[in-house]
Structure 1
Amino acid sequence: MPSQQVAQVMEDRTPAFEIEARQRYHEKPQNVPKAMSNLLSSYSGVPKHEQVSHITRVRDEAYAQFPYPCMGTFRFLDLDLARHRAYKEHVLNTLLQPASPGEPEPLFLDCGCCLGQEVRKLAADGVPPHRLWASDIEPKFIQLGFELFRDEDKLPRDHFLCPGNVLADTEDPSEDQLTILNDKVSILSISAVFHLFGLDDHKRIVNRCLRLLRKDTNAPVLVLGAHAGSLKAENHQRGVGTERERSLFLHNEESWEALWREVCDQPQWKDKVVALEVKAKMFRRVRNEDPDADEIVTLCDLNTMSEARPWKMWEVWVTFKPAP
């Protein structure tokens, strides 16, 4: 069979996400962002002169099985949570607080953790490991995360829940291990997840987040993250894949708040959620190629963004009705 025909046959058999991801692949990282480089040096003991080869080896193993754009472009090296405006005051400070006598300790969960980079940053910043949890649907990501950060002796492996499926509607932990954290999570981080799905699935994910959150604090609990946004709330169609794979929904600030309010107004939550505060800001992402610099993130000017794709950083504070 001629090579051109072979290529066509292979493309016909290749999942849509893999075809799309091939368009976004870098052989090696041009640099290791400063925050990640420092994390690998101080927390994982990987010397700076070895980091590019170490990262590339782990990435190549991940990409062979999961050819996602975040793997192909080394996007996972960006520590989104540590750059979040709520990180120091509302995430790190909360998780560093001593436990009050007779009160449950605050628990952090990273949903869709990929290689677990955000949890490692929290651990390096001093958060007790038993307060840190992460989840993903792919066990290979969990294993490669331990290889990347060389920390089998630092973090409990059973705190990495897999499968952890935010689209699941089940109480069976064999299908969704997140069920063991229902009603226990004080701070829930979920980044680069919503923009992978359509609006109906967004509602399912919000509902799943609400089920995970603690209901007994008599104070607001936090969900936060970042993902691709849009100046105009709209469906976005990928060029390949099934109808569901192609149909994504990107939010602006107004539609994002409307999503959370709609779900919280559903019968199962209407009488349980007594207050909801949604904050979101659009940013422009600019990669800085200076090896001593991190990625630059600047606030968007909504009047000049035109068709450029902004990045949305957000936090949602939910207060539940006190238990009788």
Structure 2
Amino acid sequence: MEGTATHNGSTTLLGDVTFRMASAPTVDSSLYSLSSEQAEFFKAQTGIDDDEDLKRHILEVQAKAYQVAPYPCIRSFVFLRNITFLRLNLSSLSVYEHILELGRKRPDAVLLDIGCCFGTDARKAAADGFPAKNIIASDLFNEFLQLSHELFKTTPASYPGCFLPGDVFDPAFLSIAAPTDDVTPAPAIDLSSLKSLNHLHGRISVINAISFFHLFSEKKQFLVAKALAGLLSAQPGSVICGYHVGSLEKGIVNNSLPGSEYGLFAHSPKTWSSLWDGEVFKKGSVKVETELVEIETRDVQFFMMKWSVMRL
């Protein structure tokens, strides 16, 4: 969750997206829902075995996050699922096993979870074997990163993952650099010492950008893509991936979360692929895969787009 974030009465701005509400909605515990797989994960991570105790714990963290920023995605428990409308996360992407393999086999491979909220994807990757000390979870709000420790019942001493607050549109935190062609493995770096992402140009093996790009205008999506591309290692197999709102034709897509309405700029698979392969990266230097998943809604046709961009 990056970029400008403001709240004023019945209007909330997240990135470039304005959420319009009839009134500022309160937290609604009836929206709470975990699949059996999610419940198993959160129980294993928190040590809370009782369903009601787990629900109570998550609701307490949600209430604190809603005080920090009253986003509809916080109210609707998107931080549990890491994706609006779908109970999917990084582990559901076809490239996930490849990501875990990079963590196992590539010395000092680094995973960046950008716009992470509470860093649930980062925690899942660590639980599945990607070295936690090589994972960075980054969000605009440092309070969300601190609440990650509360949600997962850890401390900076007990969890070795790196939490790095910052704004991707602040050049002091992330400047735009051309994608590197140098495939030489980078020396190890102490992630805990980082103050920005600028020390990691050309050094990151995996960038997870779930529910991220659609928060911005078309122009800003291009700028973020260039900024993240500059971080990606040139070693073959290095990958940027995610999913967000997609469309058959690029343009503004209107939809809603409980209590709010909003419009998002969405790319089509064709325009998303051409953006990465030819505009952001040199044509033919990456492999782009996309998949549109249609979501059932009451009023309109709505798609989420799963995608990955891999260095060749």
| TM-score grouping bracket, smaller chain normalisation | 0.7 to 0.9
Change (3 A) 1:286 1:176: farther
Tell me the alpha carbon deviations over residues 221-273 of structure 1, each in whole angstroms, 9 at most, x when there is no partner.
Answer: 1000011111221134799xxxxxx8742011111112213433xxxx64xx7
Larger radius of gyration: 1
Q: Which runs of 5+ in 1 are unaligned?
A: 1-9, 240-245, 288-304, 320-324
Q: Which runs of 5+ in 2 are unaligned?
A: 1-7, 82-87, 176-193, 257-261
How many pairs are equivalent?
269
Change (3 A) 1:200 1:151: same
Aligned to 1:68: 71
Tell me by how many angstroms 1:129 deviates.
1.5
Q: Tell me whether 109-118 or 39-48 shows the greater mean CA deviation.
A: 39-48
Tell me by how many angstroms 1:306 deviates.
9.5
Q: Tell me whether 202-211 or 27-36 shows the greater mean CA deviation.
A: 27-36
Structure 1 CA distance, aligned partners of 2:303 and 2:263?
A: 19
Change (3 A) 1:123 1:172: closer
Tell me the alpha carbon deviations over residues 85-117 of structure 1, each in whole angstroms, 9 at most, x when there is no partner.
Answer: 2112x11222123x5xxxx42111101110010
- Counterpart of 2:311 (choices 306, 318, 321) is 318
Q: Percent identity?
A: 26
- Counterpart of 1:209 (choices 207, 228, 247) is 228
Tell me the alpha carbon deviations over residues 62-91 of structure 1, each in whole angstroms, 9 at most, x when there is no partner.
Answer: 012211121011111115101112112x11
1:43 aligns with 2:45: yes
Aligned to 1:5: none
- Preserved contact between residue 221 and residue 317 of structure 1 (Cα < 8 Å): yes
DSSP-derived class of the 1:47 partner: coil
- Counterpart of 1:255 (choices 271, 279, 282) is 271
Tell me the alpha carbon deviations over residues 38-81 of structure 1, each in whole angstroms, 9 at most, x when there is no partner.
Answer: 12211221223211111111001101221112101111111510
Q: Which amino acid aligns with 2:95?
A: A
Q: Tell me whether 193-202 or 76-85 shows the greater mean CA deviation.
A: 76-85
Q: What's the C-alpha RMSD, in Å, of the aligned pairs? A: 3.0
The TM-score with structure 1 as length reference comes to 0.74
Aligned to 2:293: 283
Aligned to 1:96: 104
The TM-score with structure 2 as length reference comes to 0.76
Q: Which amino acid aligns with 1:26?
A: D
More helix by share: 1
Structure 2 CA distance, aligned partners of 1:198 and 1:234?
A: 10
- Preserved contact between residue 228 and residue 311 of structure 1 (Cα < 8 Å): yes
- Preserved contact between residue 295 and residue 301 of structure 2 (Cα < 8 Å): no
- Preserved contact between residue 170 and residue 176 of structure 1 (Cα < 8 Å): no
DSSP-derived class of the 2:46 partner: coil
- Counterpart of 2:170 (choices 168, 187, 193) is 168
DSSP-derived class of the 2:285 partner: strand
Change (3 A) 1:44 1:285: farther
Q: Which amino acid aligns with 1:258?
A: S
Tell me the alpha carbon deviations over residues 270-314 of structure 1, each in whole angstroms, 9 at most, x when there is no partner.
Answer: 4xx761211110113469xxxxxxxxxxxxxxxxx9941111100
Change (3 A) 1:255 1:277: same
Q: Which amino acid aligns with 1:96?
A: R
DSSP-derived class of the 2:277 partner: helix
Tell me by how many angstroms 1:180 deviates.
2.7
1:198 aligns with 2:210: no
Tell me the alpha carbon deviations over residues 108-148 of structure 1, each in whole angstroms, 9 at most, x when there is no partner.
Answer: 11011100101111121122211211111110110011100
Change (3 A) 1:11 1:66: closer
Aligned to 1:138: 141
Tell me by how many angstroms 1:156 deviates.
2.7
- Counterpart of 1:26 (choices 25, 28, 33) is 28
Q: Which amino acid aligns with 2:159?
A: L
Tell me by how many angstroms 1:170 deviates.
3.9
- Preserved contact between residue 25 and residue 69 of structure 1 (Cα < 8 Å): no
Alignment of 1:99-178 (within 5 A): 99=106, 104-152=107-155, 153-156=157-160, 159-163=162-166, 165-170=167-172, 177-178=196-197
DSSP-derived class of the 1:282 partner: strand
Structure 1 CA distance, aligned partners of 2:174 and 2:215?
A: 25
Structure 1 CA distance, aligned partners of 2:195 and 2:244?
A: 23
Change (3 A) 1:172 1:29: closer
Structure 1 CA distance, aligned partners of 2:284 and 2:40?
A: 42
Structure 2 CA distance, aligned partners of 1:257 and 1:212?
A: 19
